[in-house]
A and B are shown apart, each in its own frame.
Chain A
Amino acid sequence: MPRLAVWIVRTALIYLGCGFTVGGYMLLNKGLRLDPNFLTWVYMHEELLLIGWMLQFVIGVAFWILPRFMTAPKYGAIELAWAGYIVLNMGVLTTIVGTWIEGPGSAAALIGRGLEIVAAATFAIYMWPRVRPFLVG
């Protein structure tokens, strides 16, 4: 597995741990009502698991297993993929902070979402040429 795939997949695993912890906290409180305001955590939970865990994990595995190029650089424009990784995680963290402080319509949450869109486009541009038959070019 190339270094960037290790970073992306391990980051996704960290989000999985955080997201399940927040989800577990909410579900426990839905049952036992120790904290009646447990739903304030729901935006953080969604962001951690939908983008931080699932989307990021899929991108990490795609980066790992899509066909490589026969000649160097084997992984193509790898700086673009690193940029996508960094911007994606800035987006997730900004969205989490924004929704936590001011709710889903806050400016920070919108900026976070914007960063996520930029990251998605960056990954799409990076991956596009790697989507092709094995052992060609």
Chain B
Amino acid sequence: MPPLTRYFIKASLIYLVSALLVGGAALARAPLGLPSWVGLLQPVYYHLLMVGWVTQMIFGVAYWMFPKFSKTEPRRSVPLGWAIFITLNIGLLLRVVGEPLVTLNPASGLGWMLAVSAVLQWIAGFGFIVNTWARVKER
């Protein structure tokens, strides 16, 4: 298993646990008397699960197991692979912090966090498509 795949999979496992903690907290907010802002974490919960866990797990396993691109570059571009990992995770973490803050206080001036997060995650998605497309091929 290449080192980058280990990072993808371990990060995705951390997101899985975090997502379930956040989702659980949002569910238990009223019965446990948690602060009302916990209820704003619904989109964060969803995306920790769908982007952080599922999509990131797919990215890591596909990078590892898909047919080789060539003898010299079996996983196509390794630097692009790392760039995908870094942009996806910084993008998602910016969202996790920024989205509740912006929802709580739209005049906080923190909207840029969501804009940067959007661009970073978009770059990660397209990076993955570019790096993977030619590895999806008939034998």
Contact = CB atoms under 8 A, between A and B. Distances in A.
Nearest to B113: A31
Contact of A27 (B95, B110, B129): B95
B137 A6 contact: yes
A3 B138 contact: yes
Interface centre among B67, B95, B138 (most CB of A within 10 A): B138
Interface residues of A, number: 27
Given A2-B138, A10-B133, A16-B128, A31 B122 contact: no
B136 A28 contact: no
Interface string A54-95: 100100000000000000000000000000000000000000
Contacts, number: 79
A13 B132 contact: yes
Contacts of A10: 133, 136
B50 interface: yes
**Of B125, B138, B139, most A-chain CB atoms within 10 Å:** B125
A54 B67 CA distance: 20
Contacts of B118: 23-28, 31
Contacts of A1: 67, 136-139
Contacts of B136: 1, 5-6, 9-10, 13
Q: How large is the interface on B (under 10, 10 to 19, 20 to 34, 35 or more residues)?
A: 20 to 34
A26 B119 CA distance: 11
Interface of A: 1-3, 5-6, 9-10, 13, 16-17, 20-21, 23-28, 30-33, 49-50, 53-54, 57
10 contacts: A6-B137, A10-B136, A13-B129, A16-B125, A16-B129, A20-B125, A24-B121, A30-B102, A31-B102, A54-B50
> Closest 4 CB pairs between A and B?
A31-B114, A31-B111, A20-B125, A27-B118
